[in-house]
């Protein structure tokens, strides 16, 4: 879903739009369907998050605030992309292309940076007893990451200039811009996630004796598994399109409108799969808490019956 950004070129926008994508029904149908499904699951997750205070913990809150980027993709980036190419709006408005580019890059860097932050925060807080978070505590890091993502996206959209960019940002066509972008938006956050996850696994097994006979050990294992799933998801989301664009810089002859369309569809599907992944995680978390509450209730009843004295008349009988 890469819109174009042209600087210092003698070609018209109309000359560059045609060969970028295979503008057929597959692209618009798949993109629209993914947007609808992703939006539905995003809204369901947000409703449950607002109505269930038990979900607002250090281990979960950042994953729900990442749904903001899915909604940006659904309501801003995706529709602008489809209208810009299918209705030829990009031919008359470079500013519209820049707007679409900024939102697309914001989604890219925001989601991966949020996961990196969550892995670091969870690493330091996982062995502590944490209660529910206030809205201020939740909103502050989420808003900071969002502002940071927009700033980086604006800089990479407006500052670089390239002699000819066929409907793509300069960071996708020139190596001197792509390397910094990949470093900031993917390599560093991904490295932080991987190191935090591996180090956390080491810490867990070092302290396994303290949790071996306690329910917390099972919970900690599930938290680590969840982190690993999100690391894999981020790789699937970012790697195909990014390394395809990198391969085009190295060898431009590999470019194909059909393959570019496939990359766009894959990117859209993976972005909009995040709400489904979060929804499944929410259901599993809710069921675990319900099961734990049932166990606690049964244990309290057993303890109560054990300490309840027997009436004197029943003892005599």
pTM of the model: 0.81
Let me know: does 126 contact 200? Beta carbons within 8 Å: yes
- Higher pLDDT pick, 161 / 119: 119
pLDDT band at 307 (very low <50, low <70, confident <90, very high): low
Query: CA 87 → CA 17, 27, 230, 316, distances in Å?
Result: 11, 14, 36, 92
Mean predicted confidence (pLDDT) in 291-300 = 64
Burial class (CB within 10 angstroms; exposed 0-12, middle 13-18, buried 19+) of 127: middle
pLDDT band at 218 (very low <50, low <70, confident <90, very high): low
Angle at 294 between CA 293 and CA 300, to 5 degrees: 90
* pLDDT tens-place string over residues 170-197: 887 788 888 999 999 889 998 998 888 8
pLDDT band at 311 (very low <50, low <70, confident <90, very high): low
pLDDT band at 111 (very low <50, low <70, confident <90, very high): very high
pLDDT number for residue 272 = 93
**Three-state SS sequence of the chain:** CCCCCCCCCCCCHHHHHCCCCCCCHHHHHHHHHHHHHHHHHHHHHHHHHHHCHHHCCCCCHHHHHCHHHHHHHHHHHHHHHHHHHHCCHHHCCHHHHHHHHHHHHHHHHHHHHHHHHHHHHHHHHCCCCCCCCCHHHHHHHHHHHHHHHHHHHHHHHHCCCCCCCCCCCHHHCCHHHHHHHHHHHHHHHHHHHHHHHHHHHHHHHHCHHHHCCCHHHHHHHHHHHHHHHHHHHHHHHHHHHHHHHHHHHHCHHHCCHHHHHHHHHHHHHHHHHHHHHHHHHHHHHHHHHHHHHHHHHHHHHHHHHHHCCCCHHHHHC
pLDDT over threshold 80, residue 92: no
What dotted CATH number matches 23-281? 1.20.1070.10
Asked which of 14-18, 54-58, 185-189, 300-304 is least confident by mean pLDDT, the reply is 14-18
pLDDT number for residue 281 = 86
pLDDT number for residue 14 = 39
């Amino acid at each position: 879903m890469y819109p174009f950004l042209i600087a210092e070129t003698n070609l018209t926008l109309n000359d560059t739009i045609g060969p970028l994508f295979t503008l057929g029904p597959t692209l618009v149908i798949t993109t629209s369907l993914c947007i609808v499904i992703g939006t539905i699951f995003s809204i369901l997750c947000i409703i449950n998050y607002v109505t269930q205070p038990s979900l607002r913990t250090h281990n979960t809150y950042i994953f729900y605030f990442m749904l903001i980027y899915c909604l940006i993709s659904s309501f801003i980036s995706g529709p602008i992309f489809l209208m810009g190419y299918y209705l030829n709006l990009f031919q008359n408005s470079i500013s519209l292309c820049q707007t679409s580019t900024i939102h697309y890059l914001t989604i890219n860097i925001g989601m991966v940076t949020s996961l990196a932050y969550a892995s670091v925060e969870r690493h330091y807080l996982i062995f502590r007893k944490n209660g529910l978070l206030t809205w201020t505590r939740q909103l502050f890091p989420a808003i900071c990451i969002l502002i940071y993502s927009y700033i980086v996206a604006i800089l990479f959209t407006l500052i670089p200039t390239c002699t000819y960019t066929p409907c793509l940002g300069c960071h996708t066509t020139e190596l001197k811009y792509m390397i910094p972008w990949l470093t900031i938006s993917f390599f560093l956050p991904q490295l932080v996630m991987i190191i935090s996850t591996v180090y956390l696994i080491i810490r867990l097994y070092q302290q396994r004796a303290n949790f071996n006979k306690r329910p917390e050990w099972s919970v900690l294992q599930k938290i680590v598994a969840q982190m690993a799933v999100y690391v894999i998801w981020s790789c699937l989301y970012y790697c195909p399109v990014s390394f395809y664009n990198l391969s085009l810089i190295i060898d431009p002859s590999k470019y194909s409108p059909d393959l570019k369309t496939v990359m766009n569809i894959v990117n859209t599907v993976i972005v909009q799969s995040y709400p489904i992944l979060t929804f499944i995680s929410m259901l599993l978390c809710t069921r675990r808490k319900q099961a734990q509450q049932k166990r606690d209730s049964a244990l309290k009843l057993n303890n109560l019956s054990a300490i309840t004295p027997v009436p004197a008349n029943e003892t005599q009988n």
